[in-house]
Amino acid sequence: MFTNSLNLLFMNTMMIGVMVSLCSNSWLMIWAGLEISLMSFIPLINENKILSSQSSMKYFIIQSMSSSILIMALSVSTMKESMWSMISISLMLKMGVAPLHNWVISVIEGMNEINMLILLTMLKLPPLMMLSYNNSMNMLFSMTSLVWGSMSGLSQFSIKKMLAYSSIFNMGFIIQSTKFTSMWMSFMIVYSMTITFFMLTMKKLSIKFINQASWIEENKLNKMNMWIITLSMMGLPPLIGFLPKLSIMELMMKEKQLLMLVIMISTSMLVSFFYMRMSYSSFMSHSLTTKWNMKTKSKTNSIWSTISMLTLPLIMSTKCFK
């Protein structure tokens, strides 16, 4: 009971720190909100295990280093180009964007699914908001994240590492759209929703590696939900994960950044490959029963696939990407 109360307290203070950073008009208050969320998230990582203790220490060192660079850049009174470069580097290090991403892969090994979701979604909102104040497109970091995240994910069999590299890949899209607040916010909402459904499904099925997806045969509806969510993660139309990527690609066409557009399309094909590899091994190669015998006693498990399919018309109707 005491541990659950402490976790609830740290979770609330972490969310307060994130909201302080998002709602502040002062650079100092944004930095203070980042520190509040940092000091609240570290106790959530530490679960009295060796890997979690190592992850919390690594996370604290990296975030302290990036915060030191950030406050040093903000202490400069004149808005020079060098200051914006230091701010961008500190924010990229804080978010784990390639080529400053190695700490993310080692830190997530000692995390559970909930902490991993918080790290890959909620804690990236304040740095992205600060990055949107900078008019530069940070094309170098975006191209590196797209290429490195897609190519490194091909050799991974761990679900956690695959999602980490997928997050690095998606950050390449988000960084290119930071000057349009509604666009990158919509992308983060869609990405957070799909990765949450994906991680909850993997946790329910007790899948930690890609090859384990072919061993589960007791409930075919769960596997069908996993397949639909996986297709949404890879951005296959007409699922919800396709729309934000399409809007950013259209932005690249309007900005006449054809090289970036080609890199986005080609790297998206690579990401689609290692997501499809898991779905194919689950449904085509190693299935032991016929597909027309898919029966279940309950229909409640189909909520993930239903939400993934039906939220696409809702987002299109709101016209939030225009």
Please say if the pLDDT value at position 209 is more than 50.
Answer: yes
Distances in Å between the alpha carbon of 177 and those of 2, 55, 199, 214, 321? 43, 31, 26, 37, 11
pLDDT score for 294? 47
**Phi, psi angles (nearest 5°) of residue 78:** -95, 140
Q: How confident is the model at residue 111 (pLDDT cuts 50, 70, 90)?
A: confident
CB atoms within 10 A of CB 317: 8
Q: Please calculate the CA angle 181-103-275 and round it to the nearest 5 degrees.
A: 70
Q: How confident is the model at residue 218 (pLDDT cuts 50, 70, 90)?
A: low
Distances in Å between the alpha carbon of 149 and those of 26, 88, 117, 164? 33, 19, 18, 8
pLDDT score for 214? 63
Q: How confident is the model at residue 133 (pLDDT cuts 50, 70, 90)?
A: confident
Q: How confident is the model at residue 176 (pLDDT cuts 50, 70, 90)?
A: confident
pLDDT score for 316? 42
pLDDT score for 79? 58
Q: How confident is the model at residue 222 (pLDDT cuts 50, 70, 90)?
A: low
In whole angstroms, what is the distance from residue 131 CA to residue 133 CA? Answer: 5
Most confident of 24-33, 133-142, 300-309: 24-33
Cα 270 to its chain centre, rounded Å, is: 17
With the C-alpha atoms ordered 192, 297, 219, 287, is the resulting torsion angle positive or negative? negative
In whole angstroms, what is the distance from residue 301 CA to residue 294 CA? Answer: 13
Q: Write a three-state SS string for 191-216.
A: HHHHHHHHHHHHHHHCCCEHHHHHCC
DSSP label of 157:
-
Query: Which range (54-63, 204-213, 283-292) has the least confidence?
Result: 283-292
The pTM for the full model equals 0.81
Instruction: Please state the rounded mean pLDDT for residues 192-218.
Output: 75
Six token digits for residue 148: 């490195």
Helices 81-95 and 125-132, axial angle in degrees (round to 10): 160
8's CB contacts (< 8 A; 6+ apart) are: none
Instruction: Give 136 or 56, the one with higher predicted confidence.
Output: 56
pLDDT score for 49? 67
pLDDT score for 317? 39
Percent of the chain with pLDDT over 90: 0
Six token digits for residue 204: 């329910």
Looking at every residue in the chain, the average pLDDT score rounds to 77
Amino acid at 6: L
Indicate the burial class of 100 (C-beta count within 10 angstroms; 0-12, 13-18, 19 or more).
Answer: buried
The domains of the chain are located at 112-318
Q: Are 137 and 158 in contact (CB under 8 A)?
A: no
Helix (H, G, I), strand (E, B) or coil at 91: helix
Q: Are 210 and 162 in contact (CB under 8 A)?
A: yes
In whole angstroms, what is the distance from residue 153 CA to residue 270 CA? Answer: 9
Query: Which range (134-148, 259-273, 306-320) has the least confidence?
Result: 306-320
Query: Which range (104-118, 190-204, 264-278, 281-295) has the least confidence?
Result: 281-295
Instruction: Give 51 or 307, the one with higher predicted confidence.
Output: 51
